[in-house]
Amino acid sequence: MNAMLSIKAICAKYDLSAVYVRRAISAGKLKAEKEALPGNDKGYRLVCAESEVIRWRADSGKTRRTDGRARFVLYATPDEKDNLEGLLKESDLGVIITRQNKVKKLG
């Protein structure tokens, strides 16, 4: 039978934050069950089957970066963006700048 892991145990074993695990549970990406706390008829904690955590980690690894770099959002005018792209090409860092949204016209 699968071992049941608490959120605290999942965080310790996989080096994750409790907020990240709880968000995955609330979004339905990670299935959890309520387990009654011993000696407390009203309290409970969330636990997940270890096989479910392994499945979730395999699926979530496809969208998360694994190279240790963070993703940053830069707000720039078109001229500033062109200048930054030129500097990145000169430095040969291999950083890619992509546009994430459409320009909103004010007024």
Check: CB of residue 51 under 8 Å from CB of residue 41: no
pLDDT in tens, 68-98: 666 677 788 888 888 888 888 888 877 777 7
Is a pLDDT exceeding 60 seen at residue 1? no
Percentage of residues in the chain with pLDDT exceeding 70? 80
Domains of the chain and any CATH numbers: 4-60 (1.10.1660)
Pairing of strands 33-36, 44-49: antiparallel
Is a pLDDT exceeding 90 seen at residue 8? yes
Check: CB of residue 21 under 8 Å from CB of residue 7: yes
Residue with tokens 């001229």: 79
